[in-house]
Amino acid sequence: MSAVELACVGAGYWGKNLVRVFRDLPDVNLRQVCDADPAIRAAVERQYPGVATSADYDALLGDEALDAVVLAVPAAHHYDMARQALERGKHVYVEKPMTLAAADAAQLVALADARERVLMVGHLLEYHPAVAMLRALVQAGELGDIYYLYSQRVNLGIVRRDENALWSLAPHDISVILHLLGQEPDAVSARGECYLQPGIEDVVFVNLHFADGKMAQLQLSWLDPHRIRRLTVVGSRKMAVFDDVESAEKVRIYDKAAERPEYDSYGESINLRFGDVVIPRLEMSEPLKLECEHFAACVREGKTPLSDGRDGLRVVRVLEAAQASLSQNGAPVELR
């Protein structure tokens, strides 16, 4: 395969960024942008005169020269539109969350396998150089045994009307946490409150428990005075922080730990170590560009994406369990 023949479906708030990046990739030919909104189509036509636009998704899928579709549409449409594309033999990139139900995500995984097509989910932060560095630190044992993680993703806005803060914000952090740990939680609990709109939680706290004793907590809100996008990883030897709001110092490694005595001794206390803070050099590239390049390469070469359908399914399983816990006033929900 030479250039990947690709179409972007949905060119609104986030989709327009996908259009921009795929349009500029040298090994991709953006054949068409499909969107139901005529104003959005007109904007695409002005900005990219050589790109065709349409509102007819079915006709788009009938284009035999088309290799892949990129879906940046409301999450409620992810399953149906991804299924239709896979059934028509297209490779699929679908934005997060992959679907709104784990059963639907599992069906898409099975369908992609049966049709031998690439299915990739837009878990953008898995392609962030800072997250790649964190994962390398964890895998190399630089932080020691991982004890717990916590993430904060809060801001004033954007307030959604079609989904709560859990489904809007948590996919980012859940995907990174599972990516770093290489395992799924065995139980999930969540509490939240609806302050602005009935039935739509504006603030959600999620707790993940893992079989080996690790824990993770997520703080999610679009009703907060601070803009924070931060993940902290606490290990037995060192601790690390990824701060996505920081423009330059994205990762900090703290040579701090609480060291237990090697043997039982009466009266011996825990030793607290306060070492240096290291800000490693990080070669930054636009994560979205890295993600889009990866999808194009997987289509061309028949490779399995880093954030493949199974990765998307794992995240939806956690989201579904957290939503169930929300509905049960925070009762833990086991993942089987």
What is residue 269's DSSP assignment?
A: P
Work out the angle between the directed axes of helices 287-301 and 15-24 (0-180°, nearest 10).
60
Contacts of 336 (CB under 8 A, 6+ apart): none
Token pair 């997987």 is at which residue? Answer: 298
- Give the pLDDT of residue 263: 60
Q: Which helix (H) or strand (E) holds 148?
A: strand 146-156
Q: For the segment 180-197, what is each residue's pLDDT rounded down to a tens digit?
A: 999 999 999 999 999 999
Contacts of 2 (CB under 8 A, 6+ apart): 27
Token pair 């009938």 is at which residue? Answer: 62
- Architecture of 4-124 per CATH? 3-Layer(aba) Sandwich (3.40)
Distance (Å, rounded) from C-alpha 299 to C-alpha 90? 10
pTM, two decimals, is 0.95
**Is a pLDDT exceeding 80 seen at residue 253?**
yes
Closest CA to 127 of 12, 293, 319, 316: 293
Where b means 16+ CB within 10 Å and e means fewer, 247-278 reads eeebbbbbebbeeeeeeeeeeeeeeeeeeeee
- Give the pLDDT of residue 228: 98
3-state secondary structure of 75: helix
Q: For the segment 76-130, what is each residue's pLDDT rounded down to a tens digit?
A: 999 999 999 999 999 999 999 999 999 999 999 999 999 999 999 999 999 999 9
The mean pLDDT of 1-8, rounded to a whole number, is: 92
**Residue 243, burial from CB neighbour count under 10 angstroms (0-12, 13-18, 19+):** middle
Same fold, 4-124 and 126-286+318-334: no
Mean pLDDT over all residues of the chain? 96
- Architecture of 126-286+318-334 per CATH? 2-Layer Sandwich (3.30)
The domain limits of the chain are 4-124, 126-286+318-334
